[in-house]
Chains A and B, each alone.
Chain A
């Protein structure tokens, strides 16, 4: 990766253009239109001679004189080749799954199949207007029907809504469904939702946005939800519990049956945070564990590209008793992120009923392999078998080298860093998730580098504090960025 220091604005030269537009189809002479939008770049005219175009008793008065932009629009003036080179140069300072191993815990950075991209870009899908009559979009509707059925088969839920555009958006939609369920029964006192202390930050945030209060249930020493601590929290004010299973430590909540019974007995519902669904893919169905509502992250479990932070898709599935409410929350514009749903459908069809059974297992295999290979150098707070991911709590030897140092040093060796400082249960958390699309050779190369870094921590801690050394930029001054924010050029 090489450093490239330009903003597109800095390439601008007045008079250059990168657009190609047709000549006017309906120039003002033919339409009688007086050409209200001048071609120079001065302010737009304050009056538009509409009356002139409707001379005979038109009910249209002279147009509102104040509606046009007054200020000059300052966009870059660059040629097409400038644009292509600029963004190509920018791309070369980026690391993606196609660049190398991306063991980012809880993010499921699996390979993004290329056929999916071709399918999503097919003009017969990409050119569909969202409001076209149903009989004109039968193919698109079949995608939804097919996905609904496939996801129901994989998760054991009954039906899905595809409106949510991301995982957190799915959580919000799912919690709205939880509230609808209770409200439909006149059970309006249920305004609290239980969230484990190990939960993703989005869980409490989504609950708050949904107007629910949060009750935190503690984890035990072994990282699992403390059932005894849960019991006294349950009551007539509990709307439900949000669980990630396996949890953010990569551990399967083995008391799920008891938790499910307790929560249901108190009248609450179980919400499944699908962020960690990957190890269960082809092995365990949330519906079978008693979950009533769940979301999936198609951009995690179902291989659609993360796009540098989106677009994703977070369909929400529900059990029988919540199905009647599924259509109520209108949480996004049209039909959700159709282009992402198409990609995920292509992936599911490639997997089929045969390969799906291997996906979760191989993801779990990779995670345990790394864990067992590195526990001699990194502190493993919970040694039991993990699922798709696990958490180290810093280096075994204390040389003053932090998790941040380790993460930054990994970049020098051509790997993306794991998720760091999450979950909050440990001070030096390093959360590693390899996914099933990584070969033994890739995992071994990563293991070698992690060991090497552990040695470097002993021999040259200063070098680690200053890492990375081989990247386009070094560690940034984040304090200044936050104290004196510069958010635009």
Chain B
């Protein structure tokens, strides 16, 4: 064995340790493993690389990716990432810690999770938040499970077809094996009113996959009247300006924290959030941080309400989740601290203005038709009147990822504060040139 920087044992160290254990070789430590299972072949892996070689290797891979200006959202939004965030989140005290089991030496993690929970409550208007979930789609699936668990002997969930497709797919996957009956529909209110016999919950988007801010006026009353719970899937960045789940009367709010300063990173890691009303607090899945005091009266934070969780309840737990996306929650918490109420409002105003500018300018080219008339914030859909493939290719050639087709006859655009007037005008020029 040659020296390897992650293994500190010298030959001499190994000898001393083997001697203490009372065996003569490292292989002796595997005497309990049937010999036929000791792998004797050569592992089909590349030869060990030096750090420089690893760097070169990944730079080579990176060069095979095209760096595009992103004008598509669909659940992953290209917002600016303030430099403070990676600086803080790469501090190894945060980065290399485990789940905060030993609270006496984990107050840093526990405190920022408490802040995250507080901020999620403030964004959604709801009373309780957990310490975060894997991502938005899994949070939506867990919300579905929570609806079923919180309502007695009810097993059906109505899901809006206007949720993002990857959210619906994840919900369907979780439902399939748990035997939960999912109805995906464009007409949520009508479906609810029709009276599904064992309706446990209804899941709707705050802003739908076409970018339209939905009105859920009267929906909560209707859903509650059926004895079911209302779940809103939200973009937390937009919640600074659009009506909150609490204002719509929702019981549970879920969504993806990616829009709060997390890089696109090809889809992950992101972070799911989940908030609920006080009465559902003990049905929340996952970790929850609570405030308390230590023996000397100092304010401190602990993992709490753990009796809901898998390590205690095992098969009777509310969920099998035992981690969260703690570091990504820190990412969002730092972001929201930097932005404050004023920054979040201005950010949304920039997105609104930019997206409406592009929307109007694209319509003016005559290459698109309008498909929706609802209010939108940063993402919108148009009906292309030109060849979509040619349009997309022309945009890609100019370095723009835009006009993603959501389905036949619909393309989507998204504008954030990162995008300049020049870029928007350039897109319009390209569109004009497409035959």
Shortest distance between the CB of A271 and any CB in chain B (Å) = 14
Structural contact, B111 and A7, CB atoms closer than 8 A: yes
Chain A, 20-34, CB within 8 A of any chain B CB: 20-22, 24-28, 30-33
User: Does any Cβ of A come within 8 Å of B173's Cβ?
Assistant: yes
Chain B, 374-411, CB within 8 A of any chain A CB: 374-375, 392, 396, 401, 404
User: Does any Cβ of B come within 8 Å of A295's Cβ?
Assistant: no
- Contact A71:B244 (CB < 8 A) given known A125-B65, A201-B314, A208-B315: yes
With a CB–CB cut-off of 8 A, which chain A residues contact B106?
93-95, 308
Structural contact, B290 and A487, CB atoms closer than 8 A: yes
Structural contact, A312 and B7, CB atoms closer than 8 A: no
* A-contact 0/1 string along B292-311, CB 8 Å cutoff: 11111011111011110111
- Contact A25:B323 (CB < 8 A) given known A9-B115, A94-B97, A384-B32: no
Structural contact, B340 and A76, CB atoms closer than 8 A: yes
Contact stretch, chosen from B10-18, B181-189, B191-199, B223-231: B10-18
With a CB–CB cut-off of 8 A, which chain A residues contact B247?
69-71
With a CB–CB cut-off of 8 A, which chain A residues contact B313?
201, 205
Q: Which of A75, A137, A466 has the most CB of B within 10 A?
A: A75
- Contact A179:B177 (CB < 8 A) given known A288-B37, A352-B45: yes
Q: Which of B266, B304, B310 has the most CB of A within 10 A?
A: B266
With a CB–CB cut-off of 8 A, which chain A residues contact B114?
7, 487-489
With a CB–CB cut-off of 8 A, which chain A residues contact B92?
96-99, 112, 305
Structural contact, A19 and B338, CB atoms closer than 8 A: yes
Q: CA separation between A419 and B99, bound complex, in Å? A: 12
Q: CA separation between A311 and B99, bound complex, in Å? A: 11
- Contact A36:B352 (CB < 8 A) given known A94-B97, A99-B93, A311-B328: yes
Shortest distance between the CB of A336 and any CB in chain B (Å) = 6
User: Does any Cβ of B come within 8 Å of A323's Cβ?
Assistant: no
Interface size class of A (residues with CB under 8 A): 35 or more
Q: CA separation between A31 and B327, bound complex, in Å? A: 40
Of the candidates B8, B137, B178, B287, which one forms a contact with A209 in the assembled complex, judged by CB atoms under 8 Å apart? B178
With a CB–CB cut-off of 8 A, which chain A residues contact B102?
95, 407-408, 411, 416-417
Residue of B nearest to A130 (CB): B267
* B-contact 0/1 string along A411-448, CB 8 Å cutoff: 10000110100100000000000001111101100000
Structural contact, A150 and B105, CB atoms closer than 8 A: no
With a CB–CB cut-off of 8 A, which chain A residues contact B246?
71
- Contact A77:B342 (CB < 8 A) given known A3-B298, A68-B242: yes
With a CB–CB cut-off of 8 A, which chain A residues contact B345?
37, 39, 41, 73
With a CB–CB cut-off of 8 A, which chain A residues contact B93?
91-92, 94-96, 98-99
Chain A, 179-204, CB within 8 A of any chain B CB: 179, 201-202, 204
Chain A, 141-169, CB within 8 A of any chain B CB: 142-143, 149-150, 152-154, 156, 165-169
Shortest distance between the CB of A278 and any CB in chain B (Å) = 13
User: Does any Cβ of B come within 8 Å of A324's Cβ?
Assistant: no
Structural contact, B322 and A201, CB atoms closer than 8 A: yes
Q: CA separation between A81 and B165, bound complex, in Å? A: 40
* A-contact 0/1 string along B150-166, CB 8 Å cutoff: 00000000000000001
Q: CA separation between A489 and B290, bound complex, in Å? A: 10
Shortest distance between the CB of B428 and any CB in chain A (Å) = 12
Residue of A nearest to B25 (CB): A361
* B-contact 0/1 string along A360-397, CB 8 Å cutoff: 01101110110011000000000011010000000000
Chain B, 273-302, CB within 8 A of any chain A CB: 281, 287-296, 298-302
Structural contact, B65 and A339, CB atoms closer than 8 A: no
User: Does any Cβ of A come within 8 Å of B29's Cβ?
Assistant: yes
Q: CA separation between A91 and B88, bound complex, in Å? A: 9
Q: CA separation between A98 and B72, bound complex, in Å? A: 38
With a CB–CB cut-off of 8 A, which chain A residues contact B115?
7-9, 489
User: Does any Cβ of A come within 8 Å of B427's Cβ?
Assistant: no
- Ranked nearest first, the 10 interchain pairs of A and B with the lowest CB-CB distance are A352-B48, A334-B267, A307-B327, A130-B267, A311-B269, A94-B108, A124-B62, A96-B96, A19-B343, A205-B310
Extra A-B contacts (9), CB below 8 Å, given A69-B244, A80-B84, A474-B295:
A7-B118, A26-B424, A112-B95, A126-B265, A139-B63, A307-B325, A311-B327, A365-B18, A488-B114
